[in-house]
């Protein structure tokens, strides 16, 4: 859950490293630093805190050179501090290392290096063992020293390594943590994510697990686990740098909420043709789908909430039982996965460590695996048998919005597609759902045109210490995502409950100081949900209702009403969640919170 950037070329490296790290701030971090090969030494400048602290330190001393690495750290081993910040070096200060991931056997390696080899350690981190191991194994060949090091370590890593011993090269390697190589003319880059280098190049290599990369300013050599050179296709980035910047919005989150109509169009693009879903990337056969006796949907956080919508869709329209699992729990309950199972793994970044580990477990047990992800070339997309890309564009804010709604659209498309191939969905129902999906962009714009409404409501709940979301069926699933959004960026305690469960305990917490957000868009459960709204109204709760336009009845029982445009009821969750996103956003703003970087959270959770 941190960022790497590296450069080798002819330009002054320190400003390049600093600008690259700024592009990676969205990943979450608690310290930052750079290392530069400068004359006859490796100069390291690092500090706890935000990049502003590093900039101030660089005002006192800014190393000059043309080869360097930089890092933003999210603490895992050792508290955030100057000494625990990356980069790290060995005893001789001839090597510098930045690392994302976790070295699981670092204590064992550290003990061996200290007791048997006489090394002295400066930090509490697992990463420092990499620097010492490279130093220990170095015998005139930095690539070989890195290989020997990586044979010793267990866990996940993306690393960037420079050395005074060989000052004209930069080494990178990865296993289970993201890493890309940027290709320039007379210069090359490494980074955790494309935005860090997009100002300088649009041509990149995606590094695969187990590969070691040798960079000079003139060339890039990718070596596989057998030390053989790999020929890799260049991936050309075709989205603009503005897509990774705020574009006039105060926060990335608001920008990304407002980008949803366009994101919907991209996700749908080319996938609905002549009243049918066309998914060339899957190309399932009827025999394949018929053999699946069970479906697992596995994900974390917001992606998990999207899977809760996918479950009833698949069960209703394909008649296949579905389990939705939190990825971090999946492997530890010995799930009944076999070759008659379809396992779907959802991750915006495609690098979520728990989801990736669950995916590998499902493959090991013989399941057919499908990844739903937003990042082309991500780890999950490469491991899965099939991949459904969201095409939603870069998502920078920690709190996911457009990735969530496009995950929903992906699951509607997947469900209709499989039902069509299997021959179990009535044509009329399929057309209704697909028509509604195509209506989403314009109808979402109508919601976004009323942003001022949410600012007003946010002011009425900003002082609440605890807030409840309720709903039934799809509305309950949407309520769960709404509660997550509110708590993660506004820091108000928020929980979602199935509305019918209120009387089984939660009503004890309802008072005039406990606002309730009631989602009531599903026709099949509307009357029951309205009855539950009356229950909390009777306890003097301040109630905000989310309903379909034209619903006058709900006005009798709520303090504030938010309306979404009418749409085919199965698809309404995509629209119903947008008001909850906006409400969370404006509540965080009026409370003075840092919306894009909520405390203690990171965008891409790349450790288990």
**For residues 148 and 103, is the Cβ–Cβ distance under 8 A?**
no
Among candidate residues 23, 266, 311, 603, the one labeled active-site is 603
Residue with tokens 């090991």: 364
What is the Cα–Cα distance from 439 to 271, expressed in whole angstroms? 14
Residues 244-269: what's their mean pLDDT?
Answer: 87
Question: According to CATH, where is 3.40.50.10490 located in the chain?
Answer: 252-447, 451-590
Q: Which residues lie closer than 8 Å to 562 by C-beta, 6 or more apart?
A: 453, 454, 457, 544, 545, 546, 547, 579, 583
What is the Cα–Cα distance from 17 to 193, expressed in whole angstroms? 13
pLDDT tens digits, residue range 323-345?
Answer: 999 999 998 888 889 999 999 99
Per-residue pLDDT at 156: 85
Q: Tell the burial category of 428 from Cβ atoms under 10 Å away from its Cβ (0-12, 13-18, 19+).
A: exposed
Q: Is residue 238 very low, low, confident or very high in pLDDT (cuts 50, 70, 90)?
A: confident
Residue 377 has pLDDT above 80, yes or no: no
Q: Is residue 185 very low, low, confident or very high in pLDDT (cuts 50, 70, 90)?
A: very high
pLDDT tens digits, residue range 477-519?
Answer: 999 999 999 999 999 999 999 988 877 878 777 878 889 999 9
Per-residue pLDDT at 189: 98
Q: Any catalytic annotation for residue 2?
A: yes
Per-residue pLDDT at 245: 66
List Cα–Cα distances, 370 to 314, 532, 576, in angstroms. 15, 38, 27
Percent of the chain's residues with pLDDT above 90? 78
List Cα–Cα distances, 446 to 41, 190, 323, 362, 407, in angstroms. 59, 42, 34, 41, 21
Query: Which CATH code of 3.40.50.80, 1.20.1740.10, 3.40.50.720, 3.40.50.10490 fits the domain covering 252-447?
Result: 3.40.50.10490
Q: Which CATH superfamily is domain 3-238 in?
A: Aminohydrolase, N-terminal nucleophile (Ntn) domain (3.60.20.10)
- Give 198-242 as a 3 state SS string: CCCCCEEEECCCCCEEEECCCCEEEECCCCCECCCCCEECCCCHH
Among candidate residues 2, 258, 415, 593, the one labeled active-site is 2
Residue 77 has pLDDT above 90, yes or no: no
Backbone angles phi, psi at 387, to 5 degrees: -135, 135
Question: According to CATH, where is 3.60.20.10 located in the chain?
Answer: 3-238
What is the Cα–Cα distance from 358 to 437, expressed in whole angstroms? 30
Q: Is residue 243 very low, low, confident or very high in pLDDT (cuts 50, 70, 90)?
A: low
**For residues 598 and 399, is the Cβ–Cβ distance under 8 A?**
yes
Residue 571 has pLDDT above 90, yes or no: yes
Per-residue pLDDT at 70: 98
Q: Is residue 600 very low, low, confident or very high in pLDDT (cuts 50, 70, 90)?
A: confident
Into which CATH architecture does domain 451-590 fall?
3-Layer(aba) Sandwich (3.40)
């Amino acid at each position: 859950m941190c960022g790497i950037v590296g450069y080798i070329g002819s330009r002054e490296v320190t400003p390049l490293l600093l600008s690259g790290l700024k592009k990676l701030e969205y990943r979450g971090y608690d310290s930052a630093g750079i290392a530069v090969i400068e004359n006859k030494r490796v100069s390291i400048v690092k500090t706890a805190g935000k990049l502003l602290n590093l900039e101030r330190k660089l005002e006192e001393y800014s190393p000059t050179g043309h080869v360097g690495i930089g890092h933003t750290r999210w603490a895992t081993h050792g508290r955030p501090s100057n000494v625990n910040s990356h980069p790290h070096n060995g005893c001789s200060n001839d090597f510098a290392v930045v690392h994302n991931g976790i070295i699981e056997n670092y204590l064992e390696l550290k003990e061996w290096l200290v007791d048997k080899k006489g090394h002295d350690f400066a930090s509490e981190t697992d990463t420092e063992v990499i620097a010492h191991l490279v130093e220990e194994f170095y015998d005139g060949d930095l690539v070989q020293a890195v290989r020997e090091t990586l044979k010793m370590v267990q866990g996940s890593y993306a690393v960037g390594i420079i050395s005074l011993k060989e000052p004209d090269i930069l080494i990178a390697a990865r296993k289970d943590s993201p890493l890309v190589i940027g290709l320039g003319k007379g210069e090359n880059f490494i980074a955790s994510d494309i935005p860090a280098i997009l100002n300088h190049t649009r041509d990149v290599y995606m590094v695969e697990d187990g590969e070691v990369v040798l960079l000079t300013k003139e060339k890039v050599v990718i070596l596989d686990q057998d030390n053989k050179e790999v020929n890799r296709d260049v991936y050309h980035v075709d989205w603009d740098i503005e897509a990774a910047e705020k574009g006039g919005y105060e926060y990335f989150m608001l920008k990304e909420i407002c980008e949803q109509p366009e994101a919907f169009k991209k996700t749908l693009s080319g996938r609905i043709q002549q009243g049918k879903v066309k998914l060339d990337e899957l190309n399932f056969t009827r025999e394949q789908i018929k053999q699946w006796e069970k479906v697992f949907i596995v994900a974390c956080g917001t992606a998990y909430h999207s899977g809760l919508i996918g479950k009833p869709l698949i069960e209703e329209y394909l008649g296949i039982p579905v389990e939705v699992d939190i990825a971090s729990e999946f492997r530890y309950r010995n799930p009944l996965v076999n070759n008659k199972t379809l396992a779907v793994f959802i991750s915006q970044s495609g690098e979520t460590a728990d989801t990736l580990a669950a995916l590998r477990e499902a493959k090991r047990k013989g399941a057919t695996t499908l990844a739903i992800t937003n990042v082309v070339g991500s780890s999950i997309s490469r491991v899965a048998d099939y991949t459904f890309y969201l095409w939603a564009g870069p998502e920078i804010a920690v709190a996911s919005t457009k990735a969530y709604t496009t995950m929903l659209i992906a699951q509607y498309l997947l469900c209709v597609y499989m039902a069509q191939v299997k021959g179990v969905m009535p044509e009329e129902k399929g057309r209704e759902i697909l028509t509604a999906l195509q209506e989403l962009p314009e109808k979402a714009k109508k919601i976004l045109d009323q942003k001022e409404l949410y600012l007003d409501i946010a002011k009425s709940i900003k002082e609440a210490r605890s807030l409840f979301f309720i709903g039934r069926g799809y509305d309950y699933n949407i309520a769960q995502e709404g509660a997550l959004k509110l708590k993660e960026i506004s820091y108000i305690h928020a929980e979602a409950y199935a509305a019918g469960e209120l009387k089984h305990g939660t009503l004890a917490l309802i008072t005039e100081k406990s606002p309730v957000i009631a989602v009531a868009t599903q026709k099949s459960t509307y009357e029951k949900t309205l009855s539950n709204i009356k229950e909390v109204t009777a306890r003097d709760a301040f109630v905000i209702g989310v309903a379909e336009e034209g619903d006058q009845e709900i006005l009798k029982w709520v303090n504030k009403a938010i309306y979404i445009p009418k749409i085919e009821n199965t698809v309404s969750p995509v629209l119903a969640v947008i008001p909850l996103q906006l409400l969370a956003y404006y509540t965080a703003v009026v409370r003075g919170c840092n919306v894009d970087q909520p405390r203690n959270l990171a965008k891409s959770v790349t450790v288990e």
